[in-house]
Amino acid sequence: MKKAKVTRKRARSRDLNAELRAALSDMKARRWARKTEFTRRADGGVRRRIVLPDGTVEKDQVIPAGDWAQIARAGTGLSQAQFAKRIGVSVRTLQEWEQGRKRPSGPAAALLRIVASRPEVVGALDR
């Protein structure tokens, strides 16, 4: 119960309009809270690093070569919602693929392999 009281008290004292204005100002000035960098590796995988504005690395991981959904999306630099819309699947389906709970079907897997090797193809899918 104590945590709930603290949360409610903090929520009442927040100025959401000021927070949103500050966030918009940061976006317009091209300041960022964290940035995700993707680097292709020789073994076919992708290295994903999440970097804070001060240069510290928050997360550094290697996505293995066989994980086509993550590699394809990483190559495009799109968010999950944007990528799912472009390839014609739900965000939930994409999340299931990326987290390894489900595997893409034959045609979907083929599309992901194509996008992983040629990320610019996703731009043509939007038309």
Partners of 51 in the β-ladder: 35, 57
- Per-residue model confidence (pLDDT) at position 127: 55
CATH level 3 topology of 2-125: 434 Repressor (Amino-terminal Domain) (1.10.260)
- Asked if residue 74 lies in contact with residue 63, where contact means CB atoms within 8 angstroms, the answer is yes
- Per-residue model confidence (pLDDT) at position 6: 64
- Per-residue model confidence (pLDDT) at position 4: 67
Q: For the beta carbon of residue 13, count every other beta carbon within 10 angstroms.
A: 7
- Per-residue model confidence (pLDDT) at position 91: 94
Q: Which two tokens stand for residue 90?
A: 């739900």
Ranges of residues in the chain whose predicted pLDDT is under 70: 1-6, 125-127
Indicate the length of the chain as a whole number.
127
CA distance 30 to 73: 23
Domain regions of the chain by residue span: 2-125
Decide: residue 113, CB within 10 A, 0-12 exposed, 13-18 middle, 19+ buried: middle
The pTM of this model reads 0.59
